[in-house]
Amino acid sequence: MPAVIEYHEDNYSAFEWFEGLAVIRFYAGWCAPCVQNSPVFEQLAEHYAQANPEIKFGKVNIDQSPILTLRYNVYGLPSTLIFRNGAIIKRIAGVKSLAEMKSIVDSMDA
């Protein structure tokens, strides 16, 4: 199973109703910071696949999922949302380093 699952409007309910901690990234293929920082998000997901497989990771292409983008008020890219039991507990705007993202996820998982 891949560490990061691509979600869209047809399969998002599996993410939305996940019980536990879930991290989702909203991105676009035309967004240079999204493309450049994509490996960092993949590394983050791979790290937690080993360290804490209970945390779910996903991504949403805003061009393919405009309803989800509007539902979660995503205006800047990349945007990362952290959910606990289906509720947003943290919004992260823009590009962050792997260390910054680990620190944020660890603080949410405590």
Span 55-64, average pLDDT? 95
pTM of the predicted model, to two decimals?
0.93
Residue 63 belongs to domain spanning? 4-109
Report the pLDDT value the prediction gives residue 83, as an integer from 0 to 100: 93
Report the pLDDT value the prediction gives residue 71, as an integer from 0 to 100: 92
CATH number at residue 39: 3.40.30.10
Token pair of 87, please? 């509720």
Query: Given strand 79-84, what is the order of strands in its sheet?
Result: 4-7, 56-61, 21-27, 79-84, 87-93
> Among the options 31, 74, 101, 105, which is catalytic?
31
- Annotation marks residue 41 as catalytic: no
- Annotation marks residue 14 as catalytic: no
pLDDT at 64 over 70: yes
How many distinct structural domains can be found in the chain?
Answer: 1
State how far the Cα of 34 lies from the Cα of 25, in Å rounded to an integer: 9
